[in-house]
Structure 1
Amino acid sequence: MRHQPAPPTRFLRVRQDRGHTVLDFRGEIDIVAEVEVVPHLDAATSDPKCRVVIDLTRVEFLDASGLRLLYRARQRVLEQHGSLHLVCTDALTLRVLRITGLARLLPPRPTLDAALDQPEATPGPV
């Protein structure tokens, strides 16, 4: 099922690119953002074989709520036998992803093109 692009929110823009749903996270991804982002994230990860890219290049801050969103996306994509790729270049966010182990489960790509050009694969095991 193909979803219509969601209207942009303060924290998220959803669009289609090369057969993937791209979730552009923006600003501070915290508990306030989580409430706004979850419905869009769930819509993007609800179809069988969904192909999703989460782009964190416009994120200024990511706390535990943001990490929960990434883990939620990963779990939902696994359940749908889809693919999920992450784009991140910020040194602090990359460090948080490494420390928490999410970088192992969702290896960050340096650019959107690098993520979109990745072979289809499901996120790694827990």
Structure 2
Amino acid sequence: MELKVSTRSHAGNAIIAVAGEIDLYTAPRLQAEFARLLADDPERVVIDMSDVEFCDSTGMNVLLSALKRLRERGGALEVAAPRPAVRKILQVTGLDSVFTVHDSIPAEFAEPAG
């Protein structure tokens, strides 16, 4: 399955919308997007996981790596709107206490109407 990744940035913040499955084969696509985004030195990054159907340990490692790199710069990585299967992985691994997890996209990152 293909992984779709798109990024919007605004005022030092960014949101990465991900759709599909994050696994051994698709994780490099997400990792490349994080690398590109980190070059812009954002303060806060929210990853919209509302359209992620599956995320394995490889995908979680990509998120952890990005979190570490952002924290080294004083930034933050937050997870938004994970589906039940992804939320369960976060809970089972204890990563729900490592990441800030939002039930929905924070209002300041919502797609503008119009």
TM-score by length of 2: 0.81
What letter is aligned with 2:64? Y
Q: Quickly say closer, same or farther: Cα 1:98–1:115, change in 2 above 3 A.
A: farther
Matched with 2:4 is: 11
1:103 aligns with 2:101: no
Structure (1 or 2) with the greater strand fraction: 2
Structure 2, unaligned runs of 5 or more: none
Residues 48 and 27 of structure 1, relative CA distance in 2, 3 Å threshold: closer
Query: Counterpart amino acid of 1:99?
Result: V
Q: Identity over aligned residues, as a percent? A: 26
Report the counterpart of residue 35 of structure 1 in structure 2.
28
Q: What is the distance in 1 between the residues matched to 2:101 and 2:107? A: 10
**What runs of 5+ residues in structure 1 fail to find an aligned partner?**
1-8, 118-126
DSSP 3-state at the match of 2:74: coil
The aligned residue for residue 94 of structure 1 is: 87
Does the 8 A contact of 2:46 with 2:80 survive in 1?
yes
The answer to whether the Cα contact below 8 Å between 2:53 and 2:85 also exists between their aligned partners in 1 is no
Q: Describe how 1:1-126 pairs up with structure 2 within 5 A.
A: 10-17=3-10, 19-48=12-41, 50-113=43-106, 116=109
Paired residues of 2:34 and 2:66 also in contact (CA < 8 A): yes
Contact 2:14 2:42 (8 Å CA) reproduced: no
Select between 48-57 and 103-112 the one with higher mean Cα deviation: 48-57
- Aligned-residue RMSD, C-alpha: 2.3
